[in-house]
């Protein structure tokens, strides 16, 4: 990979393009980037869709509602709860693309029995190079927040409808043998040294957005690239979009 920074931003734009609502996981070429409606990764299956109750089988990729609101699966990461300036917990969700979902189902890795078989000497896990996963963090918007600065969604939380804004997006891809990942966070986060949404401390090492992607009017939820580990090399950085 000769330009991991360009690849990271390309993934970001592809996955945050407005999605088609008639087929899962596909961008709508008739819509503009930053347009209304769910984006591509929001039509991927959630971990709740995959890791079902014992005795149940996950629905195939093309079955079930195409768009699902943020799953808000957990308020904890590394055993800790992160709260925002309004005292609300930051919530997290995980979504898988079609090839990740299919591989886990085919290997029966969504069940305890399948995972135990692996631990007892089964075939090693080897995801296809097309496998990808999204980890998203959301915060409840309230006093002092401008919703136009976020990708927003409406969720039901503790029996109330709440508006959440995308606060962080972690993209993982098997395009490299040891995986490729990149993390984006909402630009209004503290820009000094801090602990990121995903638990690792980073400092403000500036990087340049590639010229091919330099249009800063693309995305309503202004995010910056937080860190860019690739091929065994870790390069923290931040650049506003």
Containing domain of residue 174, as a range? 4-236
Judge whether 172 and 180 are in contact, CB under 8 Å. Answer: yes
Per-residue model confidence (pLDDT) at position 227:
46
Residue at 241 is within a domain: no
Tokens 């931040």, located at residue: 238
As for how many domains the chain has, the answer is: 1
- 132-177 pLDDT per residue, tens: 999 999 999 988 888 888 899 999 888 899 999 999 999 999 999 9
Residue 215 lies in a domain: yes
SS3 49: helix
CA 219, CA 93: separation in Å to the nearest integer?
Answer: 21
- The number of beta carbons lying within 10 Å of the beta carbon of residue 231 is 11
Give the count of beta carbons closer than 10 Å to the beta carbon of residue 74. Answer: 14
User: pLDDT averaged over the chain?
Assistant: 79
Compute, in degrees rounded to 10, the torsion defined by CA atoms 150, 156, 160, 162.
Answer: 0
In a domain, 57, yes or no: yes
- Count of alpha carbons within 13 angstroms of residue 27, beta-carbon side: 14
In tens, the pLDDT along 66-82 reads 999 898 877 766 677 88
């Amino acid at each position: 990979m000769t330009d991991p920074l360009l690849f990271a931003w390309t993934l970001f734009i592809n996955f945050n393009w407005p999605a088609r609502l008639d087929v899962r996981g596909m961008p709508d070429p008739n819509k503009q980037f930053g347009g209304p409606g769910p984006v591509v990764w929001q039509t991927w299956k959630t971990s709740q869709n995959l890791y079902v109750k014992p005795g149940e089988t996950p629905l195939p990729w093309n079955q079930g509602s195409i768009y699902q609101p943020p799953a808000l699966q957990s308020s904890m990461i590394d055993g800790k709860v992160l709260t925002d300036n309004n005292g609300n917990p930051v919530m997290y969700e995980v979504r898988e693309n079609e090839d990740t979902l299919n591989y886990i189902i085919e290997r029966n890795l969504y069940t305890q029995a399948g995972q135990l078989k692996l631990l007892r000497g089964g075939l090693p896990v080897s995801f296809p190079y097309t496998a990808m996963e999204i980890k998203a963090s959301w915060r409840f918007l309230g006093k002092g927040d401008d919703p136009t600065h976020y990708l927003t969604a409406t969720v039901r939380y503790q029996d109330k409808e709440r508006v959440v804004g995308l606060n962080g997006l972690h993209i993982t891809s098997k395009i490299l043998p040891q995986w490729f990942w990149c993390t984006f966070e909402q630009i209004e986060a503290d820009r000094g040294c801090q602990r990121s949404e995903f638990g690792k401390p980073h400092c403000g090492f500036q990087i340049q957005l590639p010229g091919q992607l330099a249009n800063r009017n693309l995305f309503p939820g202004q995010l910056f690239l937080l860190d860019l580990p690739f091929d065994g090399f870790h390069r923290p950085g931040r650049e506003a979009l």
